[in-house]
Chains A and B, each alone.
Chain A
Amino acid sequence: MVAVKLIPLLFSWFGIVLVLLRGFSGRRVPVAATGVVGFALGVVGAFALLRSYPGELSFGIVRGVVAGVFLLLWGTAVAALYRNTMREFHVFQGEKLVNASFYAVIFTCTTSIIAGAVCTCRLPVTGGTILALLLLVLAAGILVLAALAAEKMLPASLTVSQPALMAAVVALLLFSASSLIRLDLFSPLSMKVMKFAHDFVHQFFESMLIPDHLFIRTYLWGYIGLLFGNGVGFWGGMIIWFTPVVLILLSIRFELLPSVAHIRQGAKRRKLLAAAIRERRIRLVIPLLALLVFAAAAYRSSYPSVEYWDPTPVPVLASPAGEIVIPKQGEINLEDGKLHKYLYKQGGKEARFFVLLNPSGEFTVDLDACAICKPDGYGQAEGTVICYYCKTLIPLETVGKPGGCNPVPVPFTVKADGVHIDALTMINTWGNTVQATARIKEGGK
């Protein structure tokens, strides 16, 4: 099963090596060797990290590195656009550096370390066994040999510019990371964009002294309200996600053609320009493929193949004293570390909540809703719970703590017979939370 889960990641690794071999075509052997060594280093490093810090920290570090690489791609894309489309930046100062052997080695090594670390994170909770790691490195080595063979079959005209190489590598790394919800970048990015849009609109209104909603026409406020929805987060995230590759595509497409003013034969000039345009078109192939991989990564992030544990809420009643009592053992075992959902109804009101024994062995009772989003509820997978509305992952360790997109905690007591919750508190807490998030209730689940 683990091997099946690793297939997309190993496929990405094959793609990375293939692109690296073509990108540094004059240095195939050092690139291949560095690739294998780097991958092994990444596997060992991630294994040690996961064993030392089994919680969210290890995944956070790996995800941070992947995010850093994505930011670097942004910088590269902007620089490429400036360099290729403006005459004053046409002379690239770092040409020598990019053509140096050590650059190819360092680039390959860094990429391989990250790829190895991402693959290791896909192994069972603590990074798997030594045997699993050895098999992983062996598989990576075989794929490098396969890539060496495959690269020779590619047409010689298929060249890769440095920004395109970067785009392809980052796209494949992000595709690998998107297969793990704890390494995924797109969903947290969408969430941050949603928050930024909200803050920006608020600050813009305040800074420009624009009257508040009291005085603005309802239809117009409805449009402004769209900026607060999760659609803005998703589409804003998509723009940030795809823009670097689009910039690289534009930088190649609008690259300045060579000057042919010194040539006095029209046919020769046209031939030279046609060759330059053809070569420019071929260089678009790799970034276009990278664009597809970026799309695939965003799709995997939006529709993860992970099966969330999302039990149907069990109806519960309150005692005459107004207490909801949920036994620890019985039909449902509260101590199994899984999230257990309940539904409490009182009069016309109802509240959905869950009970969970967190990894530190303490119970927590929380609403199946957070204080920010529409109450679409939570699912559980891979050491986290996920908010279905905004796809934010909340580590199990922090469930029970208030704030952000965490489920809203509800006061309770644990007694010998089970977990005791005040029914009125539950109904009121749900009521207040749902009322506060009512503004974004459109299109609910």
Chain B
Amino acid sequence: MKRLLSAIWTVLSSRALPPLVCGVFLLIYIGIAFGTDDTLIALMEFTRKSVILKVLLALIPLNSLCLMLKETDRHLKRRRVKNGEENDAPAGLFDESITVPVSPEFDELLGRLEAEGYTCRRTGGVLAAWRGSSIFPARVLFLAAVFCLFAGILVSLTSRSSHRMNVIEGEPIPTAKGEGGLVERIRLEPSSGAILDKKLILEVAPSTAGDGRKVFELYPPSLYRGYFVYPRYLGFASIIRFSAPGMQSASEIQGTLNIYPPGKEDRLEIPGTPYQIVFSMAKPDDGSDPYMTGRFTLLFKVLKGKDVLFRGNVPAGGEFVNEGFRLAIPDFRRMVITDFIQDYGVLLVWTATLLLIGAGCIWLPVRVFCPRREMVFTYEHDTVNACSRAEGRIRIHAGVFHESLDLLEARRSATQ
């Protein structure tokens, strides 16, 4: 049982595991690519449905956790060895370990190492020398980032649910259980930011179910009853009255038109008739944004089957009449086509991004300007155990370490 657990631990904490898992997913991706053009979407779908693939993907965050534990343990062990609290340095803890039968001429060695720029500390029979900073904090941040990233992807793949709804000015915000607060106002404003061109603001009044007043903007998206509010497209909700020669009475349709930006077309079918109306928004001559100003003219073409009967334009709130056809738009309200997304993986991926940036900001300067180099000499039973390790500038450090050993050897020869 112990051997089995040890083998499992070895596999889970191996640095070879993530590339292996990624390799398997790459092979599956290649396999899928033979069958479909939408390979990435198909792979995501496969992973969502397959328990094996989910477990395989889960190995990466698990591996990050195990590595974090393993590397923290090694780091602490190294500290204990350096402080003289532990004499046994397990294999692999240092880059080089050697036992030499010499007397501890540590005073001269200490002076030599200090002259080389090392900070030295002598505690009993232990001499520790080090310089630079360890990348251990950056490494822990990196592993935490990998954990968050892949855990986020896994959570996202397995539990994401999304509903596309229309959020309309003057109507309650759509929710799964109803009783959403009233959407008081939808505003589109110019933005001065470097990334977003426009600001979209949805103001929602407190609901009878107990939700407070909410204001939703574009990014980062806010939560409403556990769902991210993710605005996708803009349009208008309208009431359209249409009558044509031969129709007994005018049809009144409440429809939504996804016609933003100006020029984008949307189609509305008149139920019970062969007529369809294709709407778009005219681009104002003054260059203003009709969604922002609320002043706009609708361009339309009326089709019977596939034939275009006529084209025209009508201002919001206005009416168009032509050869017995009548089209009126008495009511027009702003609308945002919105995805309500329940996906907590997103939070983990955002965290991963921050952690990765943090790790990079620590790792680069430390690795370039002051990498950790350390050596420990422990005198015990007429021998010195010497260990050395470097995270950068390895050869120069190794040279200093070897010369230190030479010095100890030379002093022994001199005393004999």
Chain A residues within 8 Å of B, Cβ to Cβ:
67, 71, 74-75, 78, 82, 86-89, 192, 195-196, 199-200, 203, 207-212, 214-218, 220, 257, 259-264, 266, 269, 403-404
Contact = CB atoms under 8 A, between A and B. Distances in A.
Contacts of A74: 23
Given A207-B349, A269-B402, A88 B92 contact: yes
B156 interface: yes
B98 A217 contact: no
A195 B39 contact: yes
A211 B16 contact: no
B330 to A, nearest CB: 27
A404 B37 contact: yes
Nearest to B341: A209
Contact of A215 (B37, B41, B218): B218
Contacts of B220: 209
Contacts of A203: 40-41, 44
A217 B386 contact: no
Contacts of A200: 40
In the A-B complex, list the 5 residue pairs whose CB atoms are closest, starting with the nearest: A199-B40, A261-B98, A217-B197, A209-B230, A261-B96
9 contacts: A195-B39, A200-B40, A207-B345, A209-B219, A209-B341, A218-B197, A257-B395, A261-B96, A266-B402
A214 B96 contact: no
B234 interface: yes
B228 interface: yes
Contacts of A67: 30
B325 interface: no
B233 A211 contact: no
Contacts of A257: 395
A114 to B, nearest CB: 18
A214 B346 contact: no
A97 to B, nearest CB: 18
Nearest to A260: B402
Contacts of B14: 88
A216 B196 contact: yes
A264 B406 contact: yes
Contact of A208 (B98, B349, B409): B349
Interface string B22-41: 01000100100100011111
A195 B196 contact: no
Interface in B87-102: 92, 95-98
B195 interface: yes
Q: Which of A75, A82, A260, A264 has the largest count of B CB atoms less than 10 A from its CB?
A: A264
B221 interface: yes
B26 to A, nearest CB: 8
Contact of B346 (A89, A209, A266): A209
Contact of B16 (A89, A196, A260, A264): A89
Contacts of B335: none
A220 B195 contact: yes
A214 B233 contact: yes
A199 B41 contact: yes
A86 B16 CA distance: 10
B196 A75 contact: no
B143 interface: no
B306 interface: no
A266 B95 CA distance: 19
A214 B37 contact: no
Nearest to A87: B92
B194 interface: yes
B393 interface: no
B198 A215 contact: yes
Contact of A216 (B195, B388, B402): B195
Interface in B166-207: 194-198, 200
Contacts of A196: 39-40
Contacts of B200: 215
B228 A209 contact: yes
Contacts of A260: 402
B231 A211 contact: yes
